[in-house]
Amino acid sequence: MSNYVQAMKDFVESHYIATFAFVAAGAGLLAIRRWMAGRACLSKVMLDGKTVLITGANTGIGKETALDMAKRGARVILACRDMTRAHIAADMIRQQSGNGNVLVKKLDLACLQSVRELAKDIEKNEPRLDILINNAGIMMCPKWATEDGFEMQFGVNHLGHFLLTNCLLDLLKKSAPSRIVIVSSLAHERGKIHFDDINLDKDYRPEISYRQSKLANVLFGKELATRLQGSGVTVYSLHPGVIRTELGRHLFPTLAVWKRTIAIPLMMLIKTPWEGAQTTIYCAVEESLANDSGFYYSDCARKTPAPQAQDDDAAKRLWDLSASMVGLG
Ligand SMILES: NC(=O)c1ccc[n+]([C@@H]2O[C@H](COP(=O)([O-])OP(=O)(O)OC[C@H]3O[C@@H](n4cnc5c(N)ncnc54)[C@H](OP(=O)(O)O)[C@@H]3O)[C@@H](O)[C@H]2O)c1
């Protein structure tokens, strides 16, 4: 052991600049990592007797959110399209939370029929719904279409959730005070709603489509909050941070090898799914937000969204367009 210590001393003395640089780089990386981690939701609220439905809860931010809700004692419904992965996630959540009241339900947001069937099932079998978390998302896929012929990212990220939420409104109102949490993204800041070409048929670019869908999330939250005033149902939209999840599954394979090589170590610096779930959890349970509605959050705090996300006329126009697309009267 003393030989080892002596060898280390000799190394540091003869390579002190390299040693100093190594220690400084390590400390710098740790500081960046701590800064990236962001704030945690500090609320200790328990959810015994409450029901929470989370879309896309078999992985990533949704799974961490579901685990947190289960630890708080809620009845948790994982609404997922891949039933095998959803059952594996539900088993893990039951085990880690000690809460057996965790269910799996089929939901494919790229199919309006599937959305309607889930809503009907919930309305029929669940006496209450206290928190609806619209979390599921798809990012930067090729130009794909949903079963109903809508552009995939707008269809899944916005339209599917638009229909689901509207179908569950009566139950949410009956369960008031209740909350609707919409997971958007910072990407909305560079977004635009292409009212004249909503499916981006003229010029499809994956990043333009993702930004449009995430702006639609914030505008939907805003208009929904206006329509729900006085109902006891409050609405929150949010950016979870940049999180190490499977969201990049369509983007990553398209990157040049050198970009992927740089990206892999950088992934270690960005937020974990647990850290990424904190703002969603904050919006779902934080007591001080009980009377707030229609606002946008990031890092467990209220933030001002981009100007185009504050446009009342665009929010109303998007609502009308979405309602006609999904066949809501
Ligand atoms: N990760 C980030 O850095 C980041 C940043 C900003 C915003 N967000 C937002 O955070 C939310 C969660 O994303 P994540 O990062 O946790 O990504 P993720 O790990 O890819 O999880 C996405 C979830 O959505 C589900 N999903 C996708 N298409 C669906 C469909 N047609 N029907 C039902 N479920 C579907 C996925 O199911 P499968 O497993 O079956 O595909 C998965 O459960 C998304 O709304 C995303 O836009 C993430």
Distance CA 268, CA 288 (A): 33
Beta-sheet pairing, 51-55 with 75-80: parallel
Q: Are residues 171 and 254 in the same domain?
A: yes
CB 212 within 8 A of CB 157: no
pLDDT in tens, 259-281: 888 888 788 788 999 999 999 99
177 is written with which tokens? 């005070």
Q: Are residues 14 and 76 in the same domain?
A: no
Going across the sheet that includes 131-134, the strands are: 102-106, 75-80, 51-55, 131-134, 178-183, 233-239, 295-298, 301-303
Q: Are residues 7 and 61 in the same domain?
A: no
Q: Which atom of ligand 1 is nearest to the CA of 187?
A: 6
Residue (of 121, 103, 114) closest to 81 by Cα position: 114
- The pLDDT of residue 316 is 98
Q: Angle at Cα 145 formed by Cα 141 and Cα 151, nearest 5°?
A: 75
Q: Are residues 22 and 109 in the same domain?
A: no
Q: What is the largest CA-CA distance in the chain?
A: 81
Q: Are residues 23 and 76 in the same domain?
A: no
Ligand 1 center to 137 CA (angstroms): 4
- Residue with token string 């805003």: 222
Q: Are residues 8 and 93 in the same domain?
A: no
170 is written with which tokens? 């009566």
- The pLDDT of residue 154 is 98
Cis previous bond, 253, omega within 30: no
pLDDT in tens, 24-52: 887 777 777 777 778 999 999 999 999 99
- Residue with token string 């095998």: 84
pLDDT in tens, 127-168: 999 999 999 999 999 999 999 999 999 999 999 999 999 999
CB 206 within 8 A of CB 141: yes
Q: Take atom 24 of ligand 1 and give the residue whose Cα is closest.
A: 136
- The pLDDT of residue 1 is 59
Ligand 1 center to 292 CA (angstroms): 26
- The pLDDT of residue 54 is 98
Q: Are residues 289 and 208 in the same domain?
A: yes
Instruction: Output DSSP code: residue 237.
Output: E
Q: Are residues 76 and 26 in the same domain?
A: no
Distance CA 146, CA 162 (A): 15
Catalytic residues: 210
Q: Take atom 21 of ligand 1 and give the residue whose Cα is closest.
A: 60
Q: What is the mean pLDDT of the chain?
A: 95
Q: Which residues pair with 54 in a beta bridge?
A: 78, 133
Q: Which atom of ligand 1 is nearest to the CA of 109?
A: 32
What CATH number corresponds to the domain at position 103?
Answer: 3.40.50.720
Beta-sheet pairing, 301-303 with 295-298: antiparallel
Q: Take atom 45 of ligand 1 and give the residue whose Cα is closest.
A: 137
Q: Are residues 28 and 98 in the same domain?
A: no
Which whole number is the average pLDDT over 87-109?
98
Q: Are residues 174 and 55 in the same domain?
A: yes
Q: Which atom of ligand 1 is nearest to the CA of 111?
A: 31
51 is written with which tokens? 């029901």
Taken in order 197, 203, 205, 206, the sign of the CA dihedral is positive
Q: Are residues 170 and 146 in the same domain?
A: yes
Ligand 1 center to 253 CA (angstroms): 17
Q: Are residues 114 and 167 in the same domain?
A: yes
* Domain housing 22: 2-33
Ligand 1 center to 17 CA (angstroms): 45
Highest mean pLDDT among 3-7, 159-163, 242-246, 265-269: 159-163
- The pLDDT of residue 28 is 77
Q: Is 34 helix (H, G, I), strand (E, B) or coil?
A: helix
Ligand 1 center to 249 CA (angstroms): 10
Q: Which atom of ligand 1 is nearest to the CA of 243?
A: 3
Residue (of 235, 238, 233) closest to 221 by Cα position: 235
83 is written with which tokens? 């039933």
- The pLDDT of residue 5 is 83
Number of domains in the chain: 2
Give residues (CB < 6 A) around ligand 1. 55-56, 58-62, 80-82, 85, 107-110, 135-139, 156, 183, 185, 239-240, 242-243, 245-247
List C-alpha distances in Å: 64 to 59, 68, 173, 240, 311: 8, 6, 26, 12, 32
